[in-house]
Structure 1
């Protein structure tokens, strides 16, 4: 009898082991499953791009255990946490996922999935070049991480070049002159970004925006900068600045300034005469510079008006018939132009962008994408759970949100 019981126990253990192995193999196969990104289906043919800041730094990422300037400015300390768990940051508004590091893959996953389901086609990355000075190298490194994640999510990107800081490069002895410094940056873009399959092309050439020009204000300088770039980019300057680049400029893009009258006038008087023109829409403007000790206040405010400002500027773009639209911005918290979900506005702004884009056949998944991020943080370092979260991410990028939400519900 004892012998039979032992044999029965051994057999039972074998069956359980076999079941366990089968489950392990099933989990392994699922976690290894390849998910190709699928584009969102939308009715609005306008190319919708999001201006993006890659300049945020956390204590964990900084290397010296300090928060980055764009969360602190001169007088705020995110280590101060209130009774609701809210950190003290240099902004009037607070990101739903809290302050973050721009190179964090979990953060990028959250941002890009949210944009994808809002109908955003690509990201316009605010970029300070390649030199290791101030936080420029950190922004470059964060941009590299962002570009890698864009490929996984299936979104395009282009660079918004900041020429205003080139004098800092020269003053630091890192380049003999501003044109030389800019040519070094262009060589990097040519070798690393411009030829990417998901780099934005306009008229079969890589799109390049410049926030200005501010430092290089003559056509000859820009001709020299682009001398070795082939093909020469479709180059857009800030509105009313294209004459600084002369024939190098393919057109202009509008920005945010004082009130919507400036935008409306640009659409009426300038937009029709440009070779390539990119419109803009924004939710508001309220800077934190004076309160944060980061310099003088800009001097004007555009109220958010519970979403009415974004509605108005999106409507202006629609009336003007823009082919390319820049949303200003995803996450410039210092100037209060953020479309990123916040505690104050929730998902209002991304919902409005989604409606403008005419996104079809998707349920409301923005809260579920936030839940995915929270689970990433809660279970950091837990390989089995992270593999399941990877699968959820895969379902999201491949436009299978129902399957993603079903797996998320297992965590209830």
Structure 2
């Protein structure tokens, strides 16, 4: 059997395939050669040259995905039980908002497929993955595994990625006896990134260097520490810290990125006073902020909120990024439900946020495919175990990634 046909039959469809998956090696009728379709990812055409990246949490776990059959902390916090559901099937989760596809496991390939197709059709260029390192402590290993499930599909969809490193948990690694010092633990993590991520063709590069972002620094707070951490790398990354934190990394920092805080004044100040001084600066846009920590029994609330204002907050922060003429923009966030910053489609806001991103990106194909991408997800779940239906849905995915949405929609309607 032709190897491309074999790969297609098991669901890997970003290669050239024939229309038959029968496995029959007999000679075909030479007068009617099989039709060949290609499903290599095709970029979305758009008019906005800004690189648009999405901050992404890979930390969600369900009772079906976990080894102990318990829901992960980010759906439960301290006092919520997603096994409880109301009359409409809405589960009790640690958030004021509810994902349109319901609470999910971040390593679920159907979930990843849904998320990445939504992003692609919104004109997003890549994903900035919140990452907790390589050590097997708390849920860090699970986040790493989920991250690598996500990375495995990014290239098939045609999106880039980079790591947002959380150094705040390095002390936990040392306290658990897994590393002698916080810097040695970080060096282990950076070595892993270099050997497994930085060399990927779709890893984000800035000035020919792999982009590495840090949420802080929180623990590694001196230039000498970061010099030590980067000393084992063949190429020092383009290293961006959180706004107003680059001094902690000294000359190791290439620049800073904006985040969400209290109100839009802080974002405005970043664009006016900080961005012009940076070699590399990344703007930010967000739909709002409303954390669930207090109601979730996970400690005090943050102490401030930013109202979603029916989408007006996202409109305003996108307009600020446009006025600032940023080269790079981070959307905050795809799915931090605990802090209420999610752009992912929800029961509350539908597809309105991804539609706004699509408009900002200047996506030339103005027809909407978001509801059909949701339909693909629902059929994946509904037809689980139905081989013939899944083959058709694999082909739907291929049409979507190769920017043939009309064919994808037509085939979706044929799946019974």
Q: Shorter chain as normaliser: what TM range?
A: over 0.9
Deviation at 1:351, TM superposition (A): 0.2
Q: Using the alignment, how far apart are the partners of 1:61 and 1:149 within structure 2?
A: 19
Alignment of 1:7-46 (within 5 A): 26-28=19-21, 34-46=38-50
Q: Using the alignment, how far apart are the partners of 2:38 and 2:195 within structure 1?
A: 28
- What residue number does 2:10 align with? none
Unaligned 5+ runs, structure 1: 1-24
Give the TM-score normalised by structure 1. 0.93
Specify which of 212, 215, 220 is matched with residue 216 of structure 2. Answer: 212
Which of the pair has more CA radius of gyration?
Answer: 1
- What residue number does 1:406 align with? 410
Unaligned 5+ runs, structure 2: 1-17, 23-33
Specify which of 85, 88, 97 is matched with residue 101 of structure 2. Answer: 97
1:60-80 per-residue CA deviation (whole Å, 9 max, x = no partner) reads 111111100000001111111
Alignment of 1:281-296 (within 5 A): 281-296=285-300
Deviation at 1:293, TM superposition (A): 0.6
Deviation at 1:27, TM superposition (A): 4.5
- What residue number does 1:279 align with? 283
- What residue number does 1:159 align with? 163
Distance 1:228 1:80, change over 3 A: same
CA contact (8 A) 1:31 1:387 kept: no
Question: Where in structure 1 do 4 or more consecutive aligned residues deviate above 4 Å?
Answer: 29-34
SS of match in other structure, 1:264: helix
- What residue number does 1:86 align with? 90
- What residue number does 2:372 align with? 368
Query: What is the RMSD of the two structures over their aligned residues, measured on CA atoms?
Result: 1.3
- What residue number does 1:245 align with? 249
- What residue number does 2:57 align with? 53
Deviation at 1:410, TM superposition (A): 1.6
SS of match in other structure, 2:192: helix
Deviation at 1:381, TM superposition (A): 1.4
Q: Using the alignment, how far apart are the partners of 2:397 and 2:404 within structure 1?
A: 10
Q: Using the alignment, how far apart are the partners of 1:222 and 1:112 within structure 2?
A: 33
Higher percent of residues as helix: 1
Distance 1:267 1:26, change over 3 A: closer
Distance 1:166 1:230, change over 3 A: same
Q: Using the alignment, how far apart are the partners of 2:35 and 2:139 within structure 1?
A: 37
Q: Using the alignment, how far apart are the partners of 1:294 and 1:156 within structure 2?
A: 34
Deviation at 1:361, TM superposition (A): 2.1
Q: Using the alignment, how far apart are the partners of 1:133 and 1:411 within structure 2?
A: 43
1:347-387 per-residue CA deviation (whole Å, 9 max, x = no partner) reads 00000000000001252000000000000000111111101
CA contact (8 A) 1:362 1:401 kept: no
